[in-house]
Amino acid sequence: MCGIVGYIGKREASPILLEGLKRLEYRGYDSAGVAVLADGALKLKKYKGRVTDLARNLNTASLSGSLGISHTRWATHGAVTEANAHPHVSHDGKISLVHNGVIENYLAVKKFLESTGVEFYSETDSEVFCNLIAYHYKKEAEDSPTRFLDSVRRSLRHIDGTYGIAVISTDCPDELVGARKGSPLIVGIGKDEYLLASDVSAIISRTSNVVYLNDGEIVSLKDGELNLLTNDEEILTPEIKQIDWDIAESELGDYEHFMLKEIFEQSGALENAMRGRFSDDKSSAKFGGLNVSAQELRQIDRILLCACGTAWHACLVGEYLIERYARIPVEVEYASEFRYRNAPLDKNTLVIVISQSGETIDTLAALRESKRKGYKTLAINNSVGSTIARESDGGIYQHAGPEIGVASTKAFTSQLHILSMLALYLGRLRDMSFQEGREYVEALKKAPALVTETVKLSGKILEISKKYKDMEDCLFLGRQDMFPIALEGALKLKEISYIHAEGYPAAEMKHGPIALINEKCPVIVIAAQPDIHAKLLSNIQEVKARGAPVIAVTNESNPLPENLVDDQILIPDCHRALLPVIASIPMQLLSYHIANLRGCDVDKPRNLAKSVTVE
């Protein structure tokens, strides 16, 4: 969960590396560092803290050189210290490395290297990796033109775990080497220059031409050449892809935070999710990249939805949508648990994984486990060229644009909307009528306008937030498809404001959680379903009887009695399939405003990173 940027070309490396790190900081912001090679000497600067702290303390003139690597860290092995920050340098000063991933056998490798006289200065597995490369470098023939590359390749054979690495050597001032296994790494191809990065956002300002590395591949960037090979020395032909989004999409613009910007971008994200995806007769959805025929889908007896974090909440909503409209049994699994289970799956099971980044390591492992057992696998993700997108049998691209804020907003509602469209598509393959399909499509097409209307509640929600910003505990309640939205609301509040929050099915409150309710514990109730409105009123009465403040989210046409709740947020009336999207927005805005009022770093919450690429 770290950011890697490497550069080799004709320009000064350090400004390019710093710019890339700033764009990658959402991947980790415990510490940062830069190493530049010039005149056979390695120039290194590391700093405990943010990339801005590094830049402020970095004299780029003193780090002059056109070959370099850089890193922004999210700690796995070792505390947040300058010594544990990357880049790491081998004990002999010849090799410098930045690494994303986890080396599982690092203690055994470290013990071996110590027996050869190597001294270590950090607690990290990455420094062990760096010194292993130095060890093999010494053993390679000095006159070999591929000495450096071979030392990296041989080291990889002794490594267990995951890695995305960029490596340079003082003896090779014109070569940058990268490799990946389980952690993303891409090559950016510019004019007379190459870049290595863990995310396209780091290089989009310099090029839109990229090569995505697959697991087990090594790249050598040298003398204006890109050489790609496997660990077994098989020469590969690089496949150049085009990045399909503009750098302006990842700029903050006039907004105070990326999270707020992305909340307001949700209307456009939903519009993009629908573009070109309705049938000519406007009675169903259509998807060009499923690679599964309608006949095959009609044979499906069960669907397994698999994801982590916010995407897991989207899966829970998807379960309600698909079962309601397509009448197909659905199960939802945490990807991190599924890979270690031996769950019995029917041969006619379809596995769908969801990951915004397409690189979530647990979700990728669940996908691979499903494919290994012969199940058809689809993916919903927001990153063309990502590992999950490339390894699934087919899928649906979100087109939501880059999401920089660590707490997911537009990616989440985009996933919900695509799952709603998928429920329609599967329903029309089964028993949903033509007229029902037409009405469903018309409802879906109203989503962007309804979202635009809902985000206008931001000012009202800010005023409500001022009343509750000092709370230390909060409960979110919802029923049926609003239960996952309650879970998501609680997660958002926890993530960015550090307030203890829990989400529950409203009727389950009396089976335990009600013991926590008192006048200091606000309760947020999503009461927007007319068919169970009376039941939710009863749940609210139970809360009020214990003296807790109640914030209700309900429909404009169905407001609650004023004396029943302390604050009320009225969202637009909408089709039931759209309700999860519309009801999510007040949850996002409430969490955002409370966190901002508490002085929290909304876009970079403590201990979190955007793309979880380590176990």
In the three-class reduction of DSSP (H, G, I as helix; E, B as strand; rest coil), residue 446 is classed as coil
Neighbours of 142 (CB within 10 A): 8
CA distance 172 to 186: 21
Dist CA 322 CA 445 (whole Å): 19
Q: In 10 A of CB 331, how many CB atoms? A: 15
Tell me whether residue 347 is one of the annotated catalytic residues: no
End-to-end CA distance of the chain, in Å? 10
| Pairing verdict, β 550-555 and 394-397 | unpaired
Q: Other CB atoms closer than 10 Å to residue 253's CB: what's the count?
A: 8
User: What backbone phi and psi angles, to 5 degrees, belong to 43?
Assistant: -110, 125
Task: Please tell me the total number of residues recorded for the chain in this structure.
Answer: 615
| Nearest-angstrom CA–CA distance, 252 and 133 | 40
Dist. CA 527–CA 548, nearest whole Å: 17
CA separation for the pair 468, 597 (Å, rounded): 10
Catalytic residue among 2, 306, 315, 574: 2
The DSSP bridge partners found for residue 567 are 551
- DSSP reduced 3-state for 301: coil
Strands (E) across 49-184 are located at 67-73, 88-89, 95-100, 163-169, 172-181
Q: Is 2 a catalytic residue?
A: yes
**In sequence order, what E strands does 74-204 have?**
88-89, 95-100, 163-169, 172-181, 186-190, 193-197
In angstroms, the Cα distances linking 446 to 421, 453, 579 are 13, 11, 12
**CA gap 130, 167 in Å, rounded:** 8
Residue found under tokens 């302390």? 566
Decide if 389 contacts 379 (C-beta within 8 A).
Answer: yes
The conformation of residue 560, written as its DSSP 8-state character, comes to: P
CA gap 51, 508 in Å, rounded? 45
Exposed/middle/buried for 452, CB within 10 Å: 0-12, 13-18, 19+?
Answer: middle
Contact 211, 226 (CB under 8 A): yes
Euclidean distance between CA atoms 163 and 184, whole angstroms:
8
Give the count of beta carbons closer than 10 Å to the beta carbon of residue 511: 9
Q: Tell me how far apart the alpha carbons of residues 235 and 462 are, in angstroms, rounded to a whole number.
A: 58
Q: What span, in angstroms and rounded, lies between the C-alpha atoms of 346 and 370?
A: 12
The residue from 46, 376, 410, 610 that is catalytic is 610
Catalytic residue positions, numbered: 2, 610
